[in-house]
């Protein structure tokens, strides 16, 4: 599937219960809306089940009118589906919808069904697609070119540096960076995109009113404030329970034109996102790592098995997805001899203080002092570990800009 453009659903998927062959434009968004919302709340009615119901009954309203009979149309019905449906029916579709709408507004979001105009086009071209999305922030941020950056929560300094660099480059090129707000790579990518003045969309594994992980609440607020969005498939105040990572990963893959796996060990959730991207026909990229690095094993395998295109540079990635590199303000920085020596050494290869001591022949104290200065100037970053990496800014200074293949 290498290099498949992702502008539409791949043909021949309808037998898996997709939407293909069903004409949504025949439905009236306003009359259908409450039934879409209430049906999506029934346990067991996911994107696939919802599509089945539409095909069988013709509309959500008709499906709702069928009562508990609709459950027999579903491929798998969980035990709590029937009682939940009975409770929802007792309350009434419009009352439930009004209640959920209110809860969404309280959580700072709106409800977007697949019938609505702001429904992300990339997701609308996915199959199957989530019937209802809860969105905080600007839904239009998902209209343009979106690229997902995913990876392990236990990121190394290398992974964080790569995530920051690629997110920065994408954001400056006007690409929306999509990720899952998780700790590690996800958070680094969101933060770098926002810091570069770009837009970023976080797909949550939890409802909008229960941001997960709680440590990234501040980051989530920054995303919204800078023109990005938070997206969830789960209704606020409706579904407590565990964060749903599998659904989240599928939406991430659906929203994006391409998925970049930065750093993933074996059995990482990021590999599931890559698999979902395959199903949706999105292009998958992976950043390689040293073959002895545990955190990069999944990435290296994706590349080795031809499930992903190798990323050799941020600029190369931009080129592959057809985006133009953004303009970067060039800051003139004057460096002393020792500062220049340390930075040059890091540009050749990131390293720990121990390694730099051997390379630069400086004493520990002056070397530590120089590194902190470079860090303060935004030229070096350690990402909380013992290894120092040059930042993108430093690379621009140290290396003439140009097309990278």
Say if residues 121 and 113 touch (Cβ distance below 8 Å). Answer: no
Query: Cβ closer to other proteins: 239 or 373?
Result: 373
String of contacts with other proteins for each residue 177-196, x by CB under 8 A:
------x-------------
CB atoms inside a 10 Å sphere around CB 118 = 15
Distances in whole angstroms, Cα of residue 120 to Cα of each of 11, 131, 335: 20, 12, 47
| 3 state DSSP class of 286 | strand
Say if residues 218 and 186 touch (Cβ distance below 8 Å). Answer: no
Q: Is 366 in the site for other proteins (CB under 8 A)?
A: yes
Query: Cβ closer to other proteins: 61 or 216?
Result: 216
Query: Cβ closer to other proteins: 139 or 265?
Result: 265
Q: Of 272, 284, 371, 397, which one interacts with other proteins (CB under 8 A)?
A: 371
Task: For residue 313, give both structure tokens.
Answer: 């540079």
Q: Of 246, 322, 352, 401, which one interacts with other proteins (CB under 8 A)?
A: 352
CA distance 276 to 272: 6
Say if residues 285 and 308 touch (Cβ distance below 8 Å). Answer: yes
Q: Of 322, 354, 399, 401, which one interacts with other proteins (CB under 8 A)?
A: 354
CA distance 139 to 157: 32
Q: Is 327 in the site for other proteins (CB under 8 A)?
A: no
Query: Cβ closer to other proteins: 50 or 388?
Result: 388
Q: 262-288 burial by CB neighbour count: b if 16+ within 10 A, else e?
A: bbbbeebbbbbbbbbbbbbbbbbbbbb
Number of H helices, E strands in the chain: 17, 12
Question: DSSP H helical segments within 92-156, as ranges?
Answer: 93-106, 121-124
Q: Strand runs (DSSP E) across 8-91, as ranges?
A: none
Q: Is 368 in the site for other proteins (CB under 8 A)?
A: yes
CA distance 178 to 252: 7
Q: Is 56 in the site for other proteins (CB under 8 A)?
A: no
Q: Is 156 in the site for other proteins (CB under 8 A)?
A: yes
Query: Cβ closer to other proteins: 283 or 381?
Result: 381
Query: Cβ closer to other proteins: 238 or 377?
Result: 377
CA distance 46 to 42: 9
How many chain residues bind other proteins (CB under 8 A)? Answer: 31
String of contacts with other proteins for each residue 227-266, x by CB under 8 A:
--------------------------------------x-
Query: Cβ closer to other proteins: 137 or 350?
Result: 350
Q: Of 31, 324, 348, 372, which one interacts with other proteins (CB under 8 A)?
A: 372
The number of residues in the chain equals 405
Q: Of 373, 396, 398, 404, which one interacts with other proteins (CB under 8 A)?
A: 373
Q: Of 376, 400, 402, 405, which one interacts with other proteins (CB under 8 A)?
A: 376
Q: Is 23 in the site for other proteins (CB under 8 A)?
A: no
CB atoms inside a 10 Å sphere around CB 64 = 22
Helix (H) or strand (E) holding 172: helix 157-172
Helix (H) or strand (E) holding 109: strand 109-113
Q: Is 3 in the site for other proteins (CB under 8 A)?
A: no
Please, what is the minimum distance in Å from the beta carbon of residue 147 to other proteins?
Answer: 26
Stretches 133-141, 271-279, 286-294, 308-316: which one binds other proteins (CB under 8 A)? 286-294
Stretches 25-33, 59-67, 194-202, 362-370: which one binds other proteins (CB under 8 A)? 362-370
Please, what is the minimum distance in Å from the beta carbon of residue 362 to other proteins?
Answer: 10
CA distance 179 to 170: 13
Please, what is the minimum distance in Å from the beta carbon of residue 264 to other proteins?
Answer: 13
Q: Which residues bind to other proteins, rule: CB under 8 A?
A: 153-154, 156, 183, 265, 292-295, 351-355, 357-358, 364-366, 368-373, 375-376, 384-387
């Amino acid at each position: 599937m290498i290099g498949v453009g992702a502008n539409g659903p791949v043909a021949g998927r309808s037998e898996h219960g997709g939407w293909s062959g069903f004409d949504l434009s025949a439905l009236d968004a306003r009359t259908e809306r409450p039934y879409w919302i209430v049906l999506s709340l029934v346990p067991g009615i996911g994107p696939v089940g919802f599509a089945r119901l539409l095909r069988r009954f013709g509309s959500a309203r008709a499906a709702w009118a069928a009562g508990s009979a609709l459950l027999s149309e579903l491929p798998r019905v969980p035990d709590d589906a029937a009682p939940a449906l009975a409770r929802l029916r007792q309350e009434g579709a419009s009352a439930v919808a009004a209640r959920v709408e209110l809860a969404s507004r309280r959580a700072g979001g709106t409800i977007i069904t697949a019938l609505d105009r702001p429904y992300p086009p990339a997701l609308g071209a996915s199959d199957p697609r989530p019937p209802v999305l809860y969105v905080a922030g600007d839904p239009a941020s998902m209209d343009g070119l979106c690229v997902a950056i995913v990876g392990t929560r236990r990121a190394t300094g290398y992974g964080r540096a790569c995530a920051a660099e690629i997110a920065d480059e994408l954001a400056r090129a006007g690409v929306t960076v999509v990720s899952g707000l998780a700790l590690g790579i996800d958070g680094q990518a969101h933060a770098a995109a926002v810091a570069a003045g770009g837009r970023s969309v976080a797909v949550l594994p939890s409802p909008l009113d229960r941001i997960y992980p709680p440590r990234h609440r501040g980051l989530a607020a920054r995303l919204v404030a800078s023109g990005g969005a938070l997206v969830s498939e789960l209704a606020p105040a409706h579904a407590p329970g565990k964060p749903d990572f599998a659904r989240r990963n599928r939406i991430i893959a659906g929203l994006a034109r391409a998925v970049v796996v930065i750093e993933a060990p074996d059995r990482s959730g990021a590999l599931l996102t890559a698999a979902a991207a395959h199903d949706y026909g999105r292009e998958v990229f992976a950043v390689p790592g040293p073959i002895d690095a545990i955190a990069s094993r999944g990435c290296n395998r994706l590349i080795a098995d031809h499930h992903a295109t190798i990323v050799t540079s941020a600029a190369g990635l931009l080129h592959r997805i057809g985006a133009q590199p953004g303009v970067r303000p060039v800051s003139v920085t004057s460096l002393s001899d020792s500062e220049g020596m340390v930075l040059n050494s890091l540009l050749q290869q990131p390293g720990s203080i121990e390694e730099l001591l051997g390379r630069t022949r400086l004493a520990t104290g002056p070397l530590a002092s120089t590194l902190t200065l470079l860090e303060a100037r935004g030229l070096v970053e350690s990402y909380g570990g013992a290894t120092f990496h040059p930042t993108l800014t430093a690379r621009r200074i140290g290396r003439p800009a140009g097309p990278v293949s």
